Amino acid sequence: RIEAARCPDVVVAQIDPRKLKKKPTVNISISGCQPAPEGYSPTLRWQQQQVANFSAVRQSLNKHRNHWQSQHLDSNVTMPKSEDEEGWKKFCLGERVYSETDALSDNENLGIDYMKVGFPPLLSIVSRMNQATVTSVLEYLISWFGEKKFTPELGRWLYALLACLEKPLLPEAHSLIRQLARRCSEVRALEESKNEEQISALNLIICLVSRYFDQRDLADEPS
């Protein structure tokens, strides 16, 4: 109290006016998504229908989770550990996509080799994944997608993982899905061949992130 009593009532800061002349650097990032190519913007009705379908899938998954979790996995299905990033990428996408090879051998035409083409997101598999694993695998695949092209295998797993993601979102999941929507919009804008099926898949993911998970600033404006 004695030291405080000795302090002056008013203190004037010494400011060097020369430092004020420098223009501060401000980093501005675009928070929204890039618009869809002309003629490919989804209608509001289409977006609402996709949200309704997705909501029904989530409700069914939650209702029957215990049943599917109790189902035995095939002997060839070995789920990677949660922290095994490379293992999950190969598990979901397959060694062919992971290694970026398109060639088929004669033996592969005789049957499906899931190690090469990736395991589909079967209910018996995703029902065994807790929220930490769902978030981790989502992070691995979004990281992969940040540098690679969009594939059907990737699309199926992204949809399934979003269906398993619980609300309210944890901060890391919130950041991940926003990153995913932006990346989808980038790939969509650069789609030279205007592959309608692929653009529709990208539209779907953006729609679910923005309208089901309430990231409305990322939503496509209705066409």
Torsion angle (degrees, nearest 10) of CA 62, 47, 136, 113: 80
> Would you place residue 17 in the very low, low, confident or very high pLDDT band (cuts 50, 70, 90)?
low
> Would you place residue 13 in the very low, low, confident or very high pLDDT band (cuts 50, 70, 90)?
low
Classify residue 218 by its DSSP letter.
G
User: Model confidence over 38-61: pLDDT tens digits?
Assistant: 889 999 999 999 999 999 999 999
Query: Position of tokens 């060694």?
Result: 95
92 contact partners, CB below 8 Å, separation of at least 6: 118, 119, 121, 137, 141, 153, 154, 157
Domain chopping of the chain, boundaries? 38-101+113-218
Evaluate if residue 16 carries a pLDDT over 70: no
38-101+113-218: CATH, from 1.20.58.1070, 3.90.550.10, 3.60.150.10, 1.10.10.10: 1.20.58.1070
The helix/strand/coil state of 43 is coil
